[in-house]
Amino acid sequence: MAYEHAYVLTGGIATGKSTVCSLLKMHGFSIIDADVIAKEQLDASKLELKEIFGEEIFENGQINRKKLADIIFASTEQRIKLNNLLHPRIRQEIKKLAIEKDKYELPYIMDIPLYFESGDYECKLSIVVYTPKDVQLERLVNREGLDKQEAQKRVNAQIDIDEKKKRAGWVIDNSSDLKHLQQETEKFVDYIREEYAGIKI
């Protein structure tokens, strides 16, 4: 059965999810990374993407991710088209990897940025990495070099981070510095160790 020992890590764009993933890896957790899978599926879907979005998203035969991002963040309709193409394929690959990991009967992390947007996966618990919206926007501007308007479009394309916080089974707060985030992550690790008492994690 897939997802029997799965814990989903999610959040919003620029809330610090990748940093939490890195910290969890240091604690020995195995990670299924939906972003890596999404990139693989994107590259494997060039023909369909050309039919949907045209030649303009290609450069020297490769997908220009920035051009594609500009299109989908400017139009809900275009974003839905991309999601309808990729999400079933991503979900299928995640399920396949989860079935393999469940054989070990150890907890593992599924890093799924669009967990709530794409429909819930069966899992033991959903963990949201939370950052206040103003901090989230500032981090996105600084990280991607976007202007505030473009950054806001990307934030608006996802479910509001406060709504995700309400839906979460566990919240890792990332509203302060790295030391605070490490402490927040440690609390979650301690919880998992209690859940799997007697098994070295």
Question: What confidence category does residue 122 fall into, taking pLDDT thresholds of 50, 70 and 90?
Answer: confident
Q: Which residue has the tokens 């008492």?
A: 197
* Entry pTM: 0.92
Task: Give mean pLDDT, residues 67-87.
Answer: 94
Q: What is the pLDDT of residues 1-19, one digit of tens each?
A: 689 999 999 999 999 999 9
Amino acid code (one letter) for 17: K
The DSSP secondary structure of 68-129, one letter per residue, reads: HHHHHHH-HHHHHHHHHHHHHHHHHHHHHHHHHHHTTT--EEEE-TTTTTT-PPP-SEEEEE
Higher pLDDT: 43 or 198? It is 43
**The pLDDT of residue 120 is above 70:** no
Q: How many CB atoms lie within 10 A of CB 151?
A: 23
Q: What is the pLDDT of residues 12-42, one digit of tens each?
A: 999 999 999 999 999 999 999 999 999 999 9
Structure tokens of 86? 């990729």
